[in-house]
Homo-oligomer: A and B are copies of this chain.
Amino acid sequence: MNQDTATPGSVRPGGRTARVRDSVLRAAGDLLAERGFATLDLAEVAARAEVGKTTVYRRWRTPAGLVADLLAEMAETSLPHSDTGSLRGDLLDNARLVGKTLTDTRQGRLFRAVIAAATSDDTAAAALRGFYDTRLAEWSPCVEAAVARGEVPAGTDPRAVLSAVSAPLYYRLLVSGDPVDEAAIAAAARAAAIAAEQGVFVSGATPSA
């Protein structure tokens, strides 16, 4: 998916190069979580990672290139999708995964920093979309299985269902400030599942109130 496109830093060879990438991404993630995107500086990342400045500039080019690779790495290490046997169970697991990411001190801060950057930087925005495209591709089979089991109508759009699970949790983190707790996680999963069962997310459906 998008982490395999030619975004700077997205090549992932093994050995020493892989260790350099690990160090650089760890340092970049720490700095992002500590101080946000606006002050992210490639020379400082190189110093903290104990890697040559030239290597970092050549391989990641810009702060946005670093963010893109950081999100690609997070997408790669995402848990595999659930297979609980029901859409409601799978969506609850998905909501818990999203909730865990957003409430984790380091990852939550990192996401806030990347989302803030994405509001004004096209490369950061593209990196964020790439992360979601990867995660959506990983979890889409849960919705396809629910269609096959007859739990939701044929033509139900996996992207719409999974976005409906994530959206209320991001809204709490970024906008309303309400807590991302277990009740919110369960309600997000349940609301999305019920709406999907009622055919709200059938693609091309004529929307009606």
What residues make up the interface of A, taking CB atoms closer than 8 Å to B? 36, 38, 86, 88-89, 91-92, 112-113, 115-120, 125, 128-129, 132, 159-160, 163-164, 166-168, 170-172, 174-178, 182-183, 186-187, 189-195, 198, 200-201, 207-209
B175 touches A115 (CB 8 A): yes
| Chain B proximity of A110: nearest CB distance (Å) | 11
Docked-complex contact B164 and A209, CB < 8 angstroms = no
Task: Give Cα A38–Cα B80 distance, bound, in whole angstroms.
Answer: 38
Number of copies: 2
Q: A112-B119, A118-B175, A128-B175 are known; give 11 further A-B pairs, CB within 8 A.
A: A36-B119, A116-B116, A116-B120, A132-B175, A163-B171, A167-B167, A170-B171, A183-B207, A190-B195, A191-B201, A194-B194
| A–B pairs, 15, beta carbons within 8 Å | A36-B119, A88-B209, A113-B120, A116-B116, A116-B117, A129-B176, A132-B176, A163-B171, A164-B168, A170-B174, A174-B174, A190-B208, A193-B209, A194-B194, A195-B195
A92 CB to closest chain B CB (Å) equals 4
Interchain CA distance A171-B98 in the complex, whole Å:
13
What is the bound-complex CA distance between A171 and B172, given in angstroms?
A: 11
A35 closest partner in B (C-beta): B120
* Chain B proximity of A48: nearest CB distance (Å): 20
Task: Report whether A194 and B200 are in contact in the complex, using a CB–CB cutoff of 8 Å.
Answer: yes
Q: Which of A36, A167, A174, A193 has the most CB of B within 10 A?
A: A167
